[in-house]
Amino acid sequence: MATKSKRGLIKLDAELCKGCYLCKSVCPLNLISISDRLNQKGYHPAIYIEDDIGIKEHKCKGCALCAIVCPDIAIEVYRE
C-alpha cells in the first residue's frame, strides 16, 4: 500500500543567516539557494526556493537536515 510521503516546509530567517551555505550543501532536494541581496549583517543569505509556492506543490519533506547543520538556528522546520 502506498502511503503518501509527507510534505514539509522551512522558514529561513534571512537576518539570522550568516551565509555559510551548509544548509544548501545538505538539502537532498536542492531547495536552498543563495540570495542576490545582502542582509543587515552583510551576508548573502540562503533562501528557500519554495517560499512562494503553495504547499501542495512542495517538494520539501521536512527532513530537517538543513536545520540540523545550520549553526545559527536560522531555520525552522514544519511538517504535515
| Contact flag: residue 19 with ligand SF4 (CB under 6 A) | yes
- Could you tell me which residues come within 8 angstroms of residue 53 by beta carbon, excluding any fewer than 6 positions away? none
The strand pairing partners of 33, in sequence order, are: 47
> Which of ligand SF4, another protein, none does residue 80 bind (CB under 5 to 8 Å by kind)?
another protein
Site string for another protein, 2-41 (x = CB under 8 A): ------xx------x-xxxxx--xx---------------
Cα 78 to its chain centre, rounded Å, is: 11
| Contact flag: residue 72 with ligand SF4 (CB under 6 A) | yes
| Contact flag: residue 59 with another protein (CB under 8 A) | no
72 vs 51: CA distance, rounded Å:
20
